[in-house]
Chain A
Amino acid sequence: MAAFETPVLGNVEERPIPALVPNATNDLKCFVAAPAHQEALGFPGELVPDWQAKAKARMGDLLSKYRSLQVFMDSCVKCGACTDKCHYFIGTGDPKNMPVARQDLFRSVYRKWFTPAGKMVPGLVGAKEFTRDLLDDWYNYFHQCSQCRRCSLYCPYGIDTAEVSMAAREIMDSIGLGQKYCNEIIGKVHRIGNNLGLPGPALEDTLLGLEEDMQAETGLDIKIPIDVEGAEVLLVTPSADFFAEPHVLGLMGYAKVFHAAGISWTVSTKASEAGNFGMFIGNYDQLRKIAGRVRTAAQELKVKRLVFGECGHAWRVAYSFLNTVAGPWDFLDPRYPVPQHILEFTYNLIKDKAIRLDKSANAGKILTVHDSCNIARGSRMGDFPGGQFHIPREVIKAAVPTFVDMHKDTICEKTFCCGGGGGLLTDELLEIRVKGARPRMEALKQVVDDHKVTHMASMCAICKAQFTKVLPAYGFDREMVVSVHQLVGDALLLGNND
C-alpha cells in the first residue's frame, strides 16, 4: 500500500467544508472477488461479456422490487444539504465522496435507461452510458460508502445513500464484479459458520481458555456454554468476540452478567456469527440465508429467548428485518422482545437490581461512547424512543465513575461512522479508513483535551477493530477503545447476589 498522510485534526466546533480534491481516492480500489468467492454465492465468477444488458435487467428488477430506490432516484433536487455530511468526503475532499455525487453515479445510468428525458436528451438531464470507466467508478466509490446513513439524516427528502450503494453492489455482484472482502466472508459463514472461519473445535478450545482466564481472575466457575440444549437464552454475537481484542473482553463481560443474574444461556456453533454481510452487498437471498441460521439454531437448541451481542449492523438486521426474513418467532417466550440486545438485557438487570455494579472497579477511567451508525440510525433498543442512545449510556454510567459525551454534532443520530463499516474493514482500504475516521477523531480529541477522557466505549465489532487500527495513526493508544461489556464485567459484583 502506498504511503499516505493522516489528516491533521481540526476544531470540531468549526469544521470547514473541505477544499475539493478531484479524484483524490480514485485509485483506492478494494480487491475484486475471485471466481471461487463469487461462484460460492451463486454470482458469475467474473465480469460477464454482456454485462451492460445484465446490469440493466437487474437494475430494472430492483427498481420494481424496492419502491424506495425508485423514489430516491427521482426525488433528489440537488439542494446540497448532504454534501459535507459524509466522513469520507470530509476526510478526503474527493467530490465523488459527496453523497449526492455517489448517488449520481447510479442515477446517471438510471436516467439513461429508465427515464424518457434521459433517453431523448441525455446531456440535459445528466444521463450517461454505462461505460467501463463508469463501472470502475461504481466499484471504487460504492466501496467507499460505509452505508452509515448519516447523509440521509440531513437530506430533506430522506434519500438513503446506503440503499443506493447496496443496490449498486447487488448489480455489480450479478454481473460478476464482486468485492473480495465481503464475498469471501459470506462464503465462510455458509461453509464454516462464521465470518472468521472458526470451526467448532477451535471455538470450543477458545472458550475453554476464556473460562480458565475468568476462573483465574475471579475464582468462580463462569461458563461460556456452547450448544447447550434447553438453555433459556441463545446469545448470537459477532465471531470477532471470540477472537480479537478488545472484543473478547466484552464476551467475558456478557458471561459474567449471565452468571451474576443466574440466567442459563448458550452460544451456538451453527449461529456462531451475528454479523450479516448479506446486507452490505444488498443481496436479499444472502441476508435471508444468513439470518436463517439463527432461527435454526434457536429451534434446535430449544431456547426461550434470543439476545444479540455487541455488533452494529447485526443489530440493524436483527431489530429491523429479523421477523421478515427469519420469522415468525412464535416458538420463543412471548414475554420478552424478539430479539433483545445484550445492552438492553443488562440495562434491565441493573434497573431491577438483579445485578449490582461497583464503579470503583473502573476508578481512574473517564469514558466517552461512540454510537455505532447501524444502532443509532438503523434500529432502536428497549421499549421507548431513543432507547438506542439512552441504554448504552446508562449501562456505561453504571459501570464507571465519569462519563462525558462527545460533541453534539457527532453523537446519537448524528454520529459519525468509525470509518470501517459497510464492508470497508479490509487492509487495502486502510487509507480511506484512516481518512474517514477524521471527524470521529476530532470529536474524541476535543473530549481528551477538555475532559481528560481516557477511554472510548464501543458497541460494535467493526468499530472496535477499526479504532484499534486507526487510533494510533492519530496519536492515540490503540487500547483506548473498549467494549461496553468489558466495563460492565470489570465492575460487576459477582458471587452471592441474594
Chain B
Amino acid sequence: MAYTVNGKTAEADEEGFLVNINEWDEEFAVLIAKDEGINMTPEHWEVVNFLREYYAEYQIAPAVRVLTKAVAKKMGPDKGNNKYLYELFPYGPAKQACKIAGLPKPTGCI
C-alpha cells in the first residue's frame, strides 16, 4: 500500500508502516493518524516528535517507560503514565504512535 497527500506518495508495508522513514513529513502523519481514527492534537504531536528524536539517536522507538517519563517531563506528571498514552493512542502507544511517526513497527513479545 501507499499514502498519498498533496501530490506526494510514500510507500507503506501491509500494516501501514512507512517503508522509508525519510519520506515522512507532518502531512503524512496527519493522514496516517486519520486512517487510525486519531485527530492530531498538540499532545499527540509531543509524543510523535519525541519518538522521532529518540529514533534519530538510537535507531529504535523508546521503551514505553522512557516515553512516559518524557511525557511527564513535557506535559506534567499527571500525564506521565500508560493510561494517558492509551487515551491518546488507543491501539497502544508503542505501535500506533510509531506508525504515525513514520517509524518501523516494534517487534517481539510486546
Q: Is the CB of B65 within 8 A of A248?
A: yes
Q: Is the CB of B109 within 8 A of A199?
A: no
Q: Tell me the smallest distance from the CB of A31 to a CB of chain B, in Å.
A: 6
Q: Which of B66, B86, B94 has the most CB of A within 10 A?
A: B66
Query: Contacting A188 at CB < 8 Å: which of B58, B65, B66, B107?
Result: B107
Q: Tell me the smallest distance from the CB of B90 to a CB of chain A, in Å.
A: 10
Residues of B within 8 A of A487 (CB): none
A462 at interface, CB cutoff 8 A:
yes
B15 at interface, CB cutoff 8 A:
yes
A461 at interface, CB cutoff 8 A:
yes
Name B105's closest neighbour in chain A (CB-CB): A427
Query: Contacting A197 at CB < 8 Å: which of B60, B62, B92?
Result: B60
Q: Is the CB of A275 within 8 A of B95?
A: no
A38 at interface, CB cutoff 8 A:
no
Closest 6 pairs between A and B when the two form their complex, measured CB to CB:
A195-B108, A461-B109, A202-B58, A244-B110, A240-B109, A196-B108
Q: Is the CB of B66 within 8 A of A206?
A: yes
B44 at interface, CB cutoff 8 A:
no
Name B82's closest neighbour in chain A (CB-CB): A245
Q: Is the CB of B108 within 8 A of A185?
A: yes
Name B94's closest neighbour in chain A (CB-CB): A244
- A446-498, CB < 8 A from B: 461-462, 464-465, 469, 478-479
Query: Contacting B58 at CB < 8 Å: which of A201, A247, A478?
Result: A201
Q: Is the CB of B64 within 8 A of A248?
A: yes
Residues of B within 8 A of A427 (CB): 15, 95
Given contacts A275-B108, A462-B109, 9 further A-B contacts (CB under 8 A): A181-B107, A196-B108, A197-B60, A205-B58, A209-B63, A238-B109, A243-B64, A243-B94, A244-B109
Q: Is the CB of A206 within 8 A of B95?
A: no
Name B65's closest neighbour in chain A (CB-CB): A248
Q: Is the CB of A195 within 8 A of B107?
A: yes
| Range of interface residues on A (Cβ < 8 Å) | 35 or more
Name A31's closest neighbour in chain B (CB-CB): B14
B106 at interface, CB cutoff 8 A:
yes
Name B68's closest neighbour in chain A (CB-CB): A245
* CA of A243 to CA of B106, assembled, Å: 10
Q: Is the CB of A240 within 8 A of B108?
A: yes
Q: Is the CB of A243 within 8 A of B82?
A: no
Q: Is the CB of A197 within 8 A of B107?
A: yes
Q: Is the CB of A184 within 8 A of B109?
A: no
Residues of A within 8 A of B86 (CB): 478
* CA of A478 to CA of B15, assembled, Å: 24
Q: Is the CB of A209 within 8 A of B110?
A: no
Q: Is the CB of B65 within 8 A of A275?
A: no
- A22-69, CB < 8 A from B: 31
A428 at interface, CB cutoff 8 A:
yes
Q: Is the CB of B82 within 8 A of A239?
A: no
Q: 5 A-B Cβ contacts within 8 A?
A: A31-B15, A195-B108, A206-B66, A238-B108, A244-B64
Q: Is the CB of A245 within 8 A of B65?
A: yes
